[in-house]
Structure 1
Amino acid sequence: MADNTAEIPPKTGLGGKLMMPIADDKGKWEKEDCSGRICIFEMQHTTGTERDADKLSEALSTRAVEVAAAGAMACLFVCPEKMEPFTITPPEDKHADLANLPVATMSHEHGSFLKDHLLKLTADKAKQSPGGVPEEAKDWVESREEFTGRVYYHNTITGANRWAPPYVDSGTDGLLVSVKVDTFFERLQKVLKTEPKGVIVAHQSWRPDVALQDPPANGFDESLLSRVPTLQITYEAGQELKAVSGRGCEPIASMEVQPFGGVYAWGMGTQGQLALSEVERDRSMRTHENAFTGEKNSFCHSPCYVSNLHEQQVVQIQCGGTHTATVTQGGEVFSWGRGDACGAMLGDLAAMQTDGFGNKIGCVDVPIVVDQLENIAKARRIFCGDNQTFIIADMPHPPFSTPS
């Protein structure tokens, strides 16, 4: 945190919408973009190549005063590459202007991950918008000043002009907290000592690959991690899981691999993603209709043995949005569920089922082997996206060879 600026509330933190000017490579922004938001700027757009802390403090303080006057909630600056975060020391004449605005710097790594995340969300928003143009950018056109040729943006409806590209809100919320002592491993150790069936740890979104390691001096017993299954997931997945459990719900579909390679399934099975046999479906599946939307879905409320995989020694299983895939001990890949998600050929589409709203879709309700991989690759690990499947495999020989 910067000296002589507002403190972040110690218990509740400071939460709000994030604003980071990423529409161009110059970090352009307008004051109206900042109102009521946590603003994040790449330092080089404000200070160029300057690295002296005193000179940086003066330039960044000037920018922070502008942001404060625009009604921002907080102001953060991303350090350039190979520069550690530092404490900004505002000049005395700016103390009063920054008395109500938290100001701080963050690492280049943190800022880069955050920028990539916001770029992805903004691109996703554009894809989902009519014509690929988000509502905030609608009616804005790029123009040039008649004499200088300087680029500006003009709204054809309101007549408003701005130098920066129209700001598209990614819809991302941020929470600033002041952590003086990190007690995560202390809390994790207490949880592990109760010997739960498993523990799920959600990462911070900007550090998706950090390992669960703590200095031995802190007294964390890492052997606990080998006794209790501990899964690490992304921040976004953790937030989604937290929201689901907060409503008293369970995940949509669950799969479990037994030590002997058998598979149990339960949850949503409208599109065949549970792979239950006809007898098992008749006995265990139930139908639910949403009274407001009219959507009908089939589900299995308790674990049911997947007899269709009885002769397969399954070692890994992954669930997608509407399909499921497994890897066997022999390296074969089986997939089932919605046809366009599990990669089924037309001849494999065993049934035409509804998607809950009466639309007919091709489904595979029994596991089928992905025979395109036979004699080419031996699968080791499998991963499922919403409608995609990926494998890590051993290749028997290079797929392409150079003539000698």
Structure 2
Amino acid sequence: MNREAIEGMAEERCDVMLYVQHLLGIGHIRRGAVLARAFQKAGLKVVFVTGGLPIGDLGLPSVEGLPSVEVVQLPPARAQDETFAVIVDEQDRPIDEAWMTARREQLLDLYRRRRPRVVMIELYPFGRRKMRFELEPLVAEARRSDPSALIACSLRDIVNRPERPEKATWMLETFRRDFDLLYVHGDPAFFRIETSFPEAAALADRLHYTGYVTEAGRVLPAPQSDDPEAGHGEVVVSVGGGAVGRHLVEAALAARPLSALADVPWRILIGPNMPEAGYRALAASAPQGVVVERARSDFALLLTRARLSISQAGYNTIMEVLAAGLPGVVVPFAGGTETEQTLRAGRLAEQGYLTVVDEQGLSGATLAAGIARALEKPPAQAREPFRMEGAEETAHHLRKLLAAPGADPARALEQDA
């Protein structure tokens, strides 16, 4: 939905405005879409605001008898590279003051028109500091509204703690000042947020663990595949959004003839963020028995049929591999200052759920060795080492806060505590 469409909307209060800004991969927006579907299923009126590059189908169809999820696309922005130091627009130009002003006003106008009872912001202030130009004004607007909106942070289980202590202090102070509630989409029995961000101990009074969020058929039925044979007995290689996945794809192609699974079909899925030229080059180099295609909406379904998964170690992908119960080989992305994938994958490997291959020194030989280790483990069964109903739990908690007609969510939150 563009600015003209926003300006043409009649004023109608919504229950939840969910803001997600993906900058490099697509895991953030995919997880946000799963939450939006759960909110929709719970009967909440949802405005889903996305500020990254469009990725196509978000799986947010209208569902009969339920309020629709309204998707609003802000002028897109992305990180120029894995350092996240420079943010560029959809024309790959560094964003400037004029661009930021226009986008900020569009977001604030949307807020004023929809007057959400809850503003949920994904990741910030534990990340996305580059988006302060619009998030600080959004929070201020929500605070001074009458009635004010409840302000919540939607956060994955692990925080990439900044190297400089003053940044960690800023995160903590910003949350304490501006936010009412922290939804951590994880299970403390597996991984406590304090492990990656010790300062979170000071937020216990506002912290709610939801369990992990996964789209493995929980919120809506799994999508039907146009190809009912796709995935059966295959090795499925996936690289998320694809922006930083080329090295893994090349290693997978080199590993196939070296592995015990050289004679089974391999399917390589590449997300929309890999440039078309690079994607076509990889597809052209694929040998017989290997299919290279863009990421599919039935990915979770393919995993339930597959022989083995090879992937990076993003939150969403790991949850789907675990839910499917097949052997998984993961290569955690560790570019820039990223530690999240390494921490989560390492913990799961220690407990025998996954096989980890280091990104540093990745080659066909090291990946083939990882495949061999994964195949040596006992046959996998669907195992869930922790709570995986995070989308439903978040929706249930929000629904409870908003349940009474005319209820003040902030007051309900105090009573819930």
Which is richer in strand? 1
TM-score with structure 2 setting the length: 0.25
Q: Give the structure with the higher percent helix.
A: 2
The structure showing larger relative contact order (alpha-carbon pairs under 8 Å, at least 6 residues apart) is 2
Bigger Rg, which one = 1
Q: What's the TM-score once normalised by structure 1's chain length?
A: 0.26
